[in-house]
Amino acid sequence: MKESVKKRRGGQIALIVLAVLLVLIAGALTLAGNYLFNFALDPQTGGMFHSYEEDEWELTDKMVWLAENAEDRWLTSHDGLALHALYLPRPEPSHKYAVICHGYGGIPQGMGGFASHFYDMGCNILTPAARCHELSQGRYASMGWLEREDIVDWVDALVEQDRSAEIILFGVSMGGATVMMTAGEAGLSPNVKCIIEDCGYSSVWDEFAGQLEEMFGLPTFPVLDAASLVCQVRAGFGFKEASSVESLRKTSVPMLFIHGEDDTFVPYWMLDVVYEACASRSKERLSIPGAGHGEAAATDPELYWSTVEGFLAKHMG
């Protein structure tokens, strides 16, 4: 009798200890997940990401040119956010438009160098500020995933302005991922004639997995899983859901993929992944030897822009 009571009590104690351990583990994972989410996606917590103001940048001539000559454009997103963009029309009437998407932590003016090239090719320029970047509202950065719907809306605004618009989507880094994620949207206007992405990532999960190992030396499981769950609760999407690959599998828009071969921040191997995933019958790729992250255009400008111009010549009227 006493032996059976002892066994019962021992079993109860073991269950209590196990329950306490599970609570402690869940608490630790919740803390870790929230820390990583705040570090990467919340500009108010002082982590890696914060929303840059224009006066924090060392302005180049092209950035100044864009800022001084462009006009402000505003858009209300489907979820009620006021989104900002800079719009620079050509002096002569043109039906060509380049929608140029900046990278993580960037500002529209920061794309002045790219904008000037498209402008010289006869394009009107629209450079949107991503959610919670520059003047655009938003609580969290979403790495291109929620922005994909915003780009659809910016495109619709241009088409409403000009029914004959021929639109290029172009983006670098997070902007590259943004335009790839936009490519698969069912509501994307047929006025989008082609898309060019430069060093965008295959998915938010893949990008954060690499950074988690690089910066913290941590495996993806279970820490990244916890951060993804936190992101689902707080921002409305999971890291695996935010996938360029899955979007590209649904696109028919002509695509040009560009990547620097020495890119380690968005690893070069991701170029193969997104290129192979793209369902478009018209797709091209460009590798730039010696180029780090976001440096392809600066490393070999002649090859970069001649490839871009040749691609546009095939797909723009």
pLDDT reading at 10 higher than 60: no
In the chain, which ranges are continuous DSSP H helix?
2-41, 61-69, 112-120, 147-161, 174-183, 204-211, 223-235, 244-248, 269-277, 296-299, 301-315
Predicted pLDDT at 29: 58
- State pLDDT tens for residues 199-258: 999 999 999 999 888 887 878 889 899 999 999 999 999 999 999 999 999 999 999 999
In degrees to the nearest 10, what's the CA dihedral of 42, 45, 51, 56? -160
The full DSSP string for 268-291 is: THHHHHHHHH---SSEEEEEETT-
User: Per-domain residue ranges for the chain?
Assistant: 1-41+207-240, 54-203+242-315
Sequence letter at residue 45: T
More confident residue, 59 or 82: 82
Closest CA to 134 of 111, 168, 113: 111
- State pLDDT tens for residues 186-203: 999 999 999 999 999 999
Taking a C-beta distance cutoff of 8 angstroms, is the pair 176, 151 a contact? no
Report pTM: 0.91
pLDDT reading at 9 higher than 80: no
Dihedrals φ, ψ of 125, to 5°?
Answer: -115, 135
Structure tokens at 137: 């509202």
Strand order in the sheet with 255-260: 71-76, 82-88, 124-128, 96-101, 166-172, 192-198, 255-260, 283-288
Predicted pLDDT at 218: 78
Q: What percent of the chain has pLDDT over 70?
A: 86
How far apart, in whole angstroms, are the C-alpha atoms of residue 98 and residue 136? Answer: 20
Closest CA to 171 of 157, 154, 187: 154
300 DSSP assignment: S
How far apart, in whole angstroms, are the C-alpha atoms of residue 134 and residue 153? Answer: 19
pLDDT reading at 24 higher than 50: no
Which of 3.40.50.1820, 3.40.720.10, 3.30.70.20, 3.30.460.80 would CATH assign to domain 54-203+242-315? 3.40.50.1820
- In the block, residue with structure tokens 């670098």: 172
- State pLDDT tens for residues 247-279: 999 999 999 999 999 999 999 999 999 999 999
